[in-house]
C-alpha cells in the first residue's frame, strides 16, 4: 500500500478482481459483448478465443452479470481436462440434477428434460458458458449436439458459448465437427488493447484512484504497449512492477527506463 500511496493512488486498480463498474471497455471487449447479445437473441453457439490474459473470462462474467436471472438459466463451466462422464456430471450438478446410477444416454435425456422444464415451467432460457474450452476432449465436442438438438421438437432451448485459447478454433475446423460448425453463429477472436487504448486504460484507472496527473511518460506508455501487446494481464503485471521500481528509485514519474527494467524483471 505504501508503494501505491507514494504515487497518490487510493487503491490499486491494476490487478484482477476489480468491480464491474471499474472495467475498461476497449474495442475488443465491446465487440465481444455485441456478439454475445446477438447470440442471446437468436440462440445458437458462439466461440470466443484469445491469448491468455486478454480478458476472455472477464468478458464472460461481465455478460453473465448483465443477464436477467428471472429470464435466463445461466450455467458457467470452467473446465479442467475432463472426460465425457465428468463433463456431464459437472453439467448435472450445475442444473441441480441428481445423477444416481444412470447410463450415459439417460444422463443426456435428464439434462434435456431439465432444460426444457426451465423453459416451459419457469420461462427461463438456458445459456451455457464453457470456459477453458481448449480442454474439451474430442469425445465431448463430437457429442455436444444433445445440448442443442432435442428429439422432442425443433425449438431451440439453449445457447452455448465456448471460450478458450486459439487452438479451439483450429480444432473445431475439423470435418468431424461439421454439425457443431453448422450451428456456430460467430467465431470471435479477442485482441489486446490498441496503442491508444493502453494510454486511455492507464489514464482512466489513475483517475478512478484519485490521481489526476499522468504519472507515466509518453515513451513509457508506448514501451508498455510494445512489451505487453495490449494484453491486460501482462500490462497490469508490468505496471505494478513499474510502481515498485519507481518507488525504490524515488522517481515521481514512470519513464521508459523504469519500464525496461520492469520488462527484464518480468522475464526472470
Q: Is pLDDT above 80 for 10?
A: yes
DSSP β-bridge partners for residue 49: 164, 189
Spell out the domain ranges in the chain. 2-16+193-266, 27-189
**What kind of fold does domain 2-16+193-266 have according to CATH?**
Helicase, Ruva Protein; domain 3 (1.10.8)
Each residue's pLDDT tens digit, 94-105: 999 887 766 777
So what's the pLDDT on residue 157? Answer: 86
Report how far residue 21's alpha carbon sits from residue 100's, in angstroms, rounded to the nearest whole number.
Answer: 42
pLDDT digits (tens, 9 = 90+) for 136-172: 888 889 888 888 887 656 677 899 999 999 999 889 9
Task: Tell me the pLDDT tens digit for each residue of 59-84.
Answer: 999 999 999 999 999 999 988 877 88
Give the homologous superfamily in CATH for domain 27-189: P-loop containing nucleotide triphosphate hydrolases (3.40.50.300)
Closest CA to 193 of 202, 184, 185: 202
Mean pLDDT of the chain: 90
| Whole-angstrom distance, CA of residue 111 vs CA of residue 117 | 10
Model confidence band, residue 210 (pLDDT cutoffs 50, 70, 90) = confident
Share of the chain above pLDDT 90, in %: 62
**239-245: long-range pairs with CB below 8 Å, 24+:** 239/14, 239/202, 240/12, 240/14, 240/15, 241/265, 241/266, 242/216, 243/3, 243/4, 243/6, 243/7, 244/3
- The answer to pTM > 0.75 is yes
Cell 450415459 belongs to which residue? 104
Amino acid at each position: 500500500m505504501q508503494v501505491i500511496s507514494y504515487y497518490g493512488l487510493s487503491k490499486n486498480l491494476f490487478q484482477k478482481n476489480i468491480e464491474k463498474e471499474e472495467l475498461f471497455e476497449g474495442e475488443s471487449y465491446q465487440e465481444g459483448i455485441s456478439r454475445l447479445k446477438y447470440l442471446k437473441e437468436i440462440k445458437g453457439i458462439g466461440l470466443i478465443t484469445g491469448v491468455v490474459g486478454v480478458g476472455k473470462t472477464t468478458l464472460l462474467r461481465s455478460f453473465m452479470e448483465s443477464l436477467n436471472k428471472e429470464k435466463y438459466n445461466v450455467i458457467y463451466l470452467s473446465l479442467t481436462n475432463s472426460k465425457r462422464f465428468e463433463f456431464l456430471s459437472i453439467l448435472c450438478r450445475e442444473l441441480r440434477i441428481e445423477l444416481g446410477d444412470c447410463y450415459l444416454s439417460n444422463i443426456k435425456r435428464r439434462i434435456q428434460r431439465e432444460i426444457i422444464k426451465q423453459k416451459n415451467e419457469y420461462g427461463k432460457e438456458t445459456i451455457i458458458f464453457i470456459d477453458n474450452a481448449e480442454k474439451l476432449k474430442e469425445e465431448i465436442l463430437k457429442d455436444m449436439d444433445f445440448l442443442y438438438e432435442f428429439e422432442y421438437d425443433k425449438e431451440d432451448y439453449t445457447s452455448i458459448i465456448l471460450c478458450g485459447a486459439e487452438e479451439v478454433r483450429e480444432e473445431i475446423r475439423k470435418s468431424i465437427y461439421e454439425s457443431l460448425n453448422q450451428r456456430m453463429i460467430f467465431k470471435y477472436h479477442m485482441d489486446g488493447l490498441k496503442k491508444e487504448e493502453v494510454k486511455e486504460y492507464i489514464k482512466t484507472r489513475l483517475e478512478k484512484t484519485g490521481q489526476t496527473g499522468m504519472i507515466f511518460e509518453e515513451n513509457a506508455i508506448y514501451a508498455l504497449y510494445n512489451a505487453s501487446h495490449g494484453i491486460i494481464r501482462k500490462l497490469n503485471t508490468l505496471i505494478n512492477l513499474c510502481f515498485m521500481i519507481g518507488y525504490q528509485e524515488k522517481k515521481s514519474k514512470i519513464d521508459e527506463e523504469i519500464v525496461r527494467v520492469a520488462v527484464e524483471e518480468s522475464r526472470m
